[in-house]
């Protein structure tokens, strides 16, 4: 009996496909998990027991760093948030929302502006600069010219990432170009699954040859910013250096007097659009709260 550590990259009808140093092994969960009410999910780091390196049993699930509900997946490190400047036009409010949702889930955002072949350099650089000044990684990409693809790939190395962004911005195109460069090691697995009778679409982690994993379906399909109103400010990283100087420690930088964040906005030290989006999110949170009460 071999005990191997691995990662669940796919789950179908009670079978879990675990990527180990000895290849992908088809596993069932031990009955014990059902008794403890723990169900393995894609993304879990597990120990398995196998006799033949073909099939085996999951015997241990390591503690999860995080867990997303839709799609159901664990241990995600990064969200690659993709927008295009045009076709479709960028929605900066949605972009800022996605950053907040990522941070709430303990996931690092990476911002990508795709389709830079369709717009002027100044247009995308202006937006990317807003985010890189705050400290986020931000990349210009063109799936068509392949600009920025290598830089993005380097960022995915050794991490588990998913792509997020509105329809039509080029998420699948980018994922495909990552795959064609990397030798994707799921061929054997896909073949085995396609012979089966399961046709339901399911979440899959695609192993990259630089030690990273990419989720094949977009994350954050439902965007619910779920945070207390007074805590939203902590998810706008650029406020941090100013808010300690606000008169009130409880300042949410809205209507309070002597607010250093508002002052920084007026002085151009904080991007005004980001601040206005923050105010919109505050209003949305209030509205949701009322609806619940």
Ligand X SMILES: Nc1nc2c(ncn2[C@@H]2O[C@H](COP(=O)(O)OP(=O)(O)OP(=O)(O)O)[C@@H](O)[C@H]2O)c(=O)[nH]1
Confirm or reject binding of residue 265 to Zn ion (CB under 5 A).
no
Which position among 12, 45, 59, 118 is part of the footprint of ligand X (CB under 6 A)? 118
- Strands 55-61 and 23-29, bridge-based pairing: parallel
Q: Which of 214, 221, 188, 205 is nearest to 26 (CA)?
A: 188
Q: How far is the CB of 263 from ligand X (least distance, A)?
A: 39
Residue 7: beta bridge partners? 19, 45
Binding residues for GTP: 114-117, 165-173
The yes or no reply on residue 144 touching ligand X (CB under 6 A) is yes
Residue 142 site contact among Zn ion, ligand X, none (CB < 5 to 8 Å, cut-off depends on kind): ligand X
Mask for 220-259, x = binds Zn ion (CB under 5 A): --------------------------x----x-x-----x
Buried b (16+ CB within 10 A) or exposed e, 189-200: beeebeeeeeee
Binders of ligand X: how many residues, by CB under 6 A?
16
- Does residue 142 belong to the site contacting ligand X (CB under 6 A)? yes
Residue 119 binds ligand X, judged by CB under 6 A: no
DSSP class of residue 235? G
Please give the helix or strand (H or E) that residue 189 lies within, else none.
helix 187-195
Residues within window 160-179 making contact with ligand X, judged by CB under 6 A? 165, 167-173
Using the rule CB under 6 A, is 151 a contact of ligand X? no
* 3-class state of residue 74 by DSSP: strand
Q: Does 91 bind ligand X (CB under 6 A)?
A: no
Q: In whole angstroms, what is the distance from residue 201 CA to residue 203 CA?
A: 7
């Amino acid at each position: 009996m071999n005990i191997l550590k691995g990662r669940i990259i796919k789950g179908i009808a009670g079978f879990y496909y675990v990527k180990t140093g000895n290849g992908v092994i088809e596993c069932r969960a031990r009955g014990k998990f059902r008794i403890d009410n723990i169900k393995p999910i894609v993304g879990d780091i597990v120990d398995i027991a196998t006799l033949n390196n073909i099939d085996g049993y999951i015997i241990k699930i390591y503690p999860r760093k995080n867990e997303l509900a839709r799609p159901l997946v664990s241990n995600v490190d990064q969200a690659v948030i993709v927008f295009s400047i045009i076709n479709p036009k960028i929605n900066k409010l949605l972009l800022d929302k996605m950053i907040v949702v990522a941070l709430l889930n303990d996931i690092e955002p990476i911002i990508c502006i795709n389709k830079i072949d369709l717009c002027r350099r100044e247009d995308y650089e202006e937006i990317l600069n807003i985010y890189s000044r705050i400290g986020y990684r931000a990349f210009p990409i063109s799936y068509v010219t392949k600009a920025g693809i290598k830089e993005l790939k380097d960022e995915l190395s050794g991490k588990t990432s998913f792509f997020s962004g509105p329809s039509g911005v080029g998420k699948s195109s980018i994922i495909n170009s990552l795959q064609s460069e990397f030798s994707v090691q799921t061929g054997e697995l896909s073949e085995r699954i396609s012979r089966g009778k399961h046709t339901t679409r399911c979440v899959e982690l695609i192993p990259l040859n630089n030690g990273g994993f990419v989720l094949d379906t977009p994350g954050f399909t439902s965007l619910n910013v779920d945070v207390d109103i007074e805590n939203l400010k902590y998810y706008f990283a650029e406020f941090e250096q100013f808010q300690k100087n606000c008169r009130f420690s409880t300042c949410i930088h809205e209507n309070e007097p002597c607010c250093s964040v508002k002052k920084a906005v007026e002085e151009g030290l904080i991007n005004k659009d980001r601040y206005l989006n923050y105010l919109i999110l505050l209003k949305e949170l209030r509205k949701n709260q009322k609806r619940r009460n």
